[in-house]
Amino acid sequence: SRDEMPEDMHDEVQLTAAYPDWHTFSGLPAGLSYHARFAVISFAGEGFLSQAAKFRTTTKMPAPVELRTVWTTDTAVNFAWHWAPPAEGGDLAEKWHIYVSWSPGNELYDARADDHYFRLEQPALAVPA
């Protein structure tokens, strides 16, 4: 739930309009159901946050899907990965990798073990071939 997210993510949700450099999903076929997992893993192993959500693409859903906050509806799910800079210094944006994994159907893939994953880092979005 939102209450379980780091305070920095609470701030990020409020500051998305000020940071337009979002990366996007592309190429998700419309009309299929997906499961996705949102995981935040620190470089130093200091924390782990995982959110799972089920979503279905539709022909009416904008493409590509923007990565914003963890929020699901009957037709879409969005994931926030662009962390807002900490209000009072710190290096949160440099310390964290954000992984998003997805799969058709009912199974969740492990983003760290399966090749169907997106590894999201600033500033590049790397999509395995």
List, edge to edge, every strand of the sheet that includes 48-56: 48-56, 33-42, 96-104, 117-120, 125-126
Tally of domains within the chain: 1
Q: What is the pTM of this model?
A: 0.24
Q: Report which of residues 30 and 57 the model is more confident about.
A: 30
Structural domain containing residue 96: 2-126
Rounded CA separation 115/101 (Å): 9
Question: pLDDT per residue over 19-50, tens digit each?
Answer: 333 333 334 444 544 444 333 333 333 333 33
73-90 confidence digits (pLDDT tens)? 333 333 433 333 333 444
Tell me the mean pLDDT in the region 110-121.
34
